[in-house]
């Protein structure tokens, strides 16, 4: 009994203290999590390791841009701290990291978390907590279409459907007699392209003569390419992630099939085209059409634009060791520019709801986007980027051709 009473005497005060401390902490806590008079704390995840770690440099591009902004005085007097963590492209890890950042670090908002599945895994949670999930690095269509259900989530990338809509529009006007074959990844990503192309073709949707899908577990896509070739199509859409896109390009050359080929943006990095050319010769890649909405650091025609100059200047000072020709870094800066823009517009008196409101009233000329591509949002339009420049692979470089096409119009 005595022992128990002693325990009681010790435990109760400790517990009471704990409760007091807890409530005291709560009363005195900053009314807006992650915002102090001098700092804004943002959280994010990128795959710095694991299968998609090539995207890791996006985070480095973002950090370089934030460092540049901070050196120039920050946003409304506050410096941005970006806590970017490695989720290895694994949604299970994203959930852990995001929860820890939300509940222990009390970040103000999440910015540019990467990956469709990774973002889906935390969307419900963040919206329940009313924490903004902004300018995320994925092109799935759901970010734009499900705003009513998830008001705190906003995408950034040109969505996969819009990309395919633009391909479809271009084909319908310029190649009205095309017979189209589609190679697509059998998931939301690939199916978005099929849906978009059908939409963009409009009355010409019957031009799609054959579709073949692959699973990410497939070793290669040669069999599918053979099927598509046998359909007699003269136009090919490759809606694939890099590895399979490169295989498809090489298969095209090995099968001596020369359709007019449209390639999904995610696989259009010059490194990938270079890999395909190395393996399949020029026939694998010559004349392939893709699209761009962010600037291409390897494109000579853009080198003298203010955006590219700023990009190189920032990298020289804040991103030593980063390869300026890597377009992922530039993409990161483009997203960071928009984040800063939204924070600025949200004003000095920062709250999460104000940030959301500002993010949904953007109309900016982002210097890192392709000239002519404007970034716009409104409460009824949650697709920040819906326009793109078509580009053609020519002698180891992407050449822009035709005007910027807008999927909205």
Partner 1 sequence: MCFLQRSEASPRREAAGNRGAKDLRPSSGCAQAFFEREELHIQELAQQVVSGLATGSIFASLALALVLIYRSMDVINFAQGELAMFTTFIAWQFTEQGMPLWAAFAATMAISFAGAVALERIVIRPIERAPQLTIVIVTLGLLIIFNGLAGWIWGYELKSFPSPFPTAPIHAGNVTFSSQDLGVIGVTLAALLLIYLFFSRTKLGLAMRAAALYPAESRVLGIPQGWMLALGWGLAAVMGTLSGLMVAPIVFLDPNMMQSIVVYAFAAAVLGGIDSPVGAVVGGLVLGVTLNLLGTYVDFIGTDLRLPVAFAIIVGVLVVRPSGMFGHRRLTRV
In contact, 8 and 1? CB cutoff 8 Å: no
Q: How far is the CB of 394 from partner 1 (least distance, A)?
A: 20
Structure tokens that stand for 336 in this block: 């960071």
Any idea which residue has 């210097």 for tokens? Answer: 367
Closest to partner 1 by CB, 246 vs 288, is 246
Q: How far is the CB of 162 from partner 1 (least distance, A)?
A: 26
Q: Is 403 left (phi over 0), alpha (psi -120 to 50) or beta?
A: beta
Q: Give 337's contacts (C-beta < 8 A, 6+ positions apart).
A: 65, 364, 366, 367, 368
Q: Which residues contact partner 1 (rule: CB under 8 A)?
A: 49-54, 186, 206, 212-215, 217-220, 222-224, 226-227, 229-230, 232, 242-243, 246-247, 250, 253-256, 271-272, 274-276, 278-281
Q: Dump the DSSP string for 331-355.
A: HHHHHHHHHHHHHHHH-SS--HHHH
Nearer to partner 1, 255 or 286 (CB): 255
Q: Outline where 88-159 has alpha helix (H).
A: 91-103, 116-128, 142-145
Least separation in angstroms between residue 87's CB and partner 1 is 14
DSSP state of 183: E
Provide the 3-class DSSP secondary structure of residue 107: coil
The residue ranges of DSSP E strands in 199-267, in sequence order, are: 208-214, 235-239, 260-263
Minimal CA–CA distance to 216: which of 294, 116, 94, 327? 116
- Residue 273 CB, nearest approach to partner 1 (Å): 11
Distance CA 160, CA 122 (A): 21
Strands 405-406 and 109-111: unpaired
Give the span between the Cα atoms of 34 and 153, in whole angstroms.
18
DSSP for 12-63? Answer: HHHHHHHHHHHHHHHHHS-SSTTB-SSEEEEEEEE-SSSTTGGGHHHHHHHH
Give me the least distance between CB of 245 and partner 1, in Å please: 10
> Judged by CB, which is closer to partner 1: 273, or 375?
273
| Max intra-chain CA distance, the chain | 94
CB of 385 to partner 1, least distance (A): 25
Minimum gap (Å) between residue 225 Cβ and partner 1: 8
In the bound complex, what is the minimum distance in angstroms from residue 135's beta carbon to partner 1? 24
Chain-centroid distance of CA 175 in Å reads 30
C-alpha span between 106 and 390 (Å, rounded): 42
Nearest distance, CB of residue 226 and partner 1, angstroms: 5
CB of 213 to partner 1, least distance (A): 5
């Amino acid at each position: 009994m005595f022992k128990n009473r002693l325990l009681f005497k010790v435990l109760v005060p400790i517990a009471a203290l704990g409760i007091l401390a807890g409530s005291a902490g709560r009363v005195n806590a900053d009314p807006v999590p992650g915002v102090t008079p001098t700092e804004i704390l943002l959280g994010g995840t990128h795959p710095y390791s694991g299968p998609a770690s090539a995207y890791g440099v996006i985070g480095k591009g973002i950090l370089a841009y934030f460092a540049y902004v901070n050196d120039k005085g920050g946003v409304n007097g506050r410096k941005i701290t970006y806590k970017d963590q490695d989720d290895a492209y694994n949604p299970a890890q994203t959930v852990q990291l995001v929860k820890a950042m939300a509940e222990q670090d009390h970040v103000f908002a999440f910015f540019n978390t990467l990956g469709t599945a990774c973002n889906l895994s935390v969307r419900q949670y963040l919206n329940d907590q009313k924490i903004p999930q902004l300018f995320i690095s994925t092109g799935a269509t759901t970010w734009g279409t499900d705003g009513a259900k998830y008001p705190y989530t906003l995408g950034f990338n040109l969505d996969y459907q819009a990309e395919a809509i633009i391909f479809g529009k271009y084909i319908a006007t310029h190649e009205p007699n095309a017979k189209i074959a589609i190679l697509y990844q059998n998931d939301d990503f690939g199916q978005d392209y099929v849906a978009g192309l059908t939409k963009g073709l409009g009355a010409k949707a019957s031009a799609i003569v054959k579709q073949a899908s692959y699973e990410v577990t497939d070793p290669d896509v040669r069999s599918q390419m053979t099927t598509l070739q046998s359909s007699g199509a003269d136009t090919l859409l490759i809606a694939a992630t890099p590895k399979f896109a490169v295989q498809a390009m090489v298969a095209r050359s090995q099968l001596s099939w020369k359709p007019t080929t449209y390639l999904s943006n995610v696989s259009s990095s010059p490194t990938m085209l270079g890999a395909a050319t190395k393996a399949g010769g020029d026939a694998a890649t010559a004349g392939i059409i893709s699209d761009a909405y962010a600037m291409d650091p390897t494109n000579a025609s853009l080198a003298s634009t203010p955006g590219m100059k700023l990009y190189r200047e920032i990298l020289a000072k804040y991103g030593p060791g980063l390869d300026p020709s890597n377009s992922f870094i530039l993409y990161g800066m483009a997203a960071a520019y928009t984040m800063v823009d939204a924070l600025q517009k949200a004003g000095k008196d920062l709250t999460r709801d104000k940030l959301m409101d500002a993010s949904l009233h953007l109309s900016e000329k982002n210097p890192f986007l392709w000239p002519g591509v404007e970034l716009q949002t409104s409460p009824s339009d949650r697709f920040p980027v819906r326009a793109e420049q078509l580009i053609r692979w020519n002698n180891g470089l992407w050449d822009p051709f035709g005007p910027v096409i807008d999927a909205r119009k």
